[in-house]
Structure 1
Amino acid sequence: MKEKSMNPSLQLILDIAEKLILEKGCRNTTLQEIAVQGGLTKGAIYHYVKSKDELFALILEAGQQQANQRFIDSVSDTASQKTGPLGPFESLSRSLHNLAGRENAANLIFIYLLSQKDSPAVTDILNRYYEASIQMTKRWIEVGKQHKAIPEYINEENAARMFAVFKNGLQIQNVLAPESGKIPDRDLYQFLLNALGVKDTSSQER
């Protein structure tokens, strides 16, 4: 995914695309309809992307950036003592729930692109998305170590890839089998702590 500078026109295109995806699904969302609803021409969209799949890739990228910013903000709140030391993990568990829900366009895009994986261009998008997720999670773990919230012995690479397996599985479950029920926030939170060897002493302090 090539980095695109965000500006009002591109943000409008992404917002309309997300709205249509939630209403009609990825397959039935077209660049033509996005252009019409935004009062734009298809040429305006092609200024930023070459295809619908590439536009979808930008939405995935924007979702990653938002998740990263929420984590950074939660670390900042912890550093300023606005939240407890495990605040970033609570932020991660909420991000997982938001990302994996059927009401999240990025999740629907991820599932849609998986179904198009026989296309080399889509395979490239998915690979880039996956590796970007790994690198972002590794940075989160490094930040956790710096703040003494994650033990030093945790291997960033292995933990990040295990986190990706869990996240992707959760995404697929919530789209293909929503009737199985959502995993409660608290359970997700505990899973993250256990996977990273972090002790939750909050219940003991009450």
Structure 2
Amino acid sequence: MKQEERREQTTRQLLDATKALLQEKGCHAITMKDIVERSELSKGAIFHYVKSKDEIFAWVLQDRLEETNRNFLHEVERGPSFEGPMEVISRNLALLENTQDVTNKVLMYLLGKEDEPAVAEVLKQFYERSVSLSKSWIVSGQHHGVIPESVDPEHAAEMFVLLSLGLRVRSSFPVIPQSSKAADVSSFIVSILQRQ
């Protein structure tokens, strides 16, 4: 097996095991021992790629982001339409409202540890990647003529990431009445992207 294939397989095993453990136990209760046992990987194999469970948790966040990007690009390849790619984004926003979504739990856990330099760095990378992908989605829409050139990709991308982070944070609050839902955020995004 080639090194890249081995890395991919190890990463997938780690992610799958960690996501399952997150659903079962939550972030605070998971130990590296749990991850080693669930993934069926040796400590050496795991520590070859990561230094801590926090780093694996950051991979969970990145994995969702990259999955959304793959789905978005797939819809873009199907044809120059605004609806398909926007549907991908809308589905992702709806997940951000889910109190049981593991990525929301991971984000809140990592935010509680932002004073640790390694965690601060992965949070920074996650934010920057989120903005970068959002910007590329807007630029792609402009390139295909479904988003007006008058939309500032940098400004709109950062605003969308801030809105999505707000949905994530709100999902962790005890039950509160919600007058605005992910569908409202999606509609707001569409109105900004289609303004002339």
TM (norm. structure 2) is 0.89
| Cα distance in structure 2, aligned partners of 1:100 and 1:54 | 24
Q: Secondary structure at the match of 2:79?
A: helix
One-letter code of the match for 1:134? V
Percent identical residues: 34
Which whole-Å CA distance do the structure 1 matches of 2:182 and 2:159 have between them?
19
Amino acid at match of 1:59: V
Q: For the residues of structure 2 that align with 1:67 and 1:36, how far apart are their CA atoms?
A: 29
2:99 counterpart of 1:105: no
- Structure 2 match to 1:195: 192
Structure 1 Cα separation of the partners of residues 103 and 115 of structure 2: 20
Amino acid at match of 1:29: I
The reply on whether 1:147 has 2:141 as its aligned counterpart is: no
Contact 1:86 1:149 in 2 (8 A): no
User: Which residue among 129, 139, 164 is the counterpart of 1:167?
Assistant: 164
Specify which of 76, 81, 85 is matched with residue 88 of structure 1: 85
1:36 is displaced (CA, Å) by: 1.1
CA deviations on 1:82-126 (whole Å, 9 max, x unpaired) are xx5322112111111124422321221111100001111111111
In structure 1, how many angstroms separate the alpha carbons of the residues matched to 2:31 and 2:125?
23
| C-alpha separation in 1, matches of 2:57 and 2:89 | 23
User: Is the CA contact 1:21–1:29 (under 8 Å) kept in the aligned structure 2?
Assistant: yes
Show the counterpart of 2:52.
51
State the match for 1:202 in structure 2.
none
Query: What is the Cα-based RMSD across aligned positions, in Å?
Result: 2.1
Is 2:134 the partner of 1:137?
yes
1:18-47 Cα shifts (integer Å, max 9, x gaps): 111121111111111111122232222111
Greater Cα shift, 98-107 or 56-65: 98-107
- Greater mean alpha carbon deviation, residues 188-197 or residues 16-25: 188-197
Task: In structure 1, give the amino acid aligned to 2:155.
Answer: N
Contact 2:104 2:171 in 1 (8 A): no
Deviates more, 1:126-135 or 1:32-41: 32-41
Q: Give the 5 Å matches for 1:13-32.
A: 13-32=14-33
In 2 relative to 1, CA 144–178 (structure 1 residues): closer, same or farther, beyond 3 Å? farther
May I ask how many residue pairs the two structures share in their alignment?
192
Deviation at 1:184, TM superposition (A): 4.8
Ranges in structure 2 where 5+ consecutive residues have no aligned partner: none
Change (3 A) 1:177 1:142: farther
How far 1:181 moved relative to its partner? 4.5
For 1:56, the aligned partner's letter is F
TM-score by length of 1: 0.85
Can you give the 5+ residue segments of structure 1 that lack an aligned partner in the other structure? 200-206
Q: In 2, Cα distance between the equivalents of 1:49 and 1:40?
A: 13
| 8 A contact 1:21–1:105 mirrored in 2 | yes
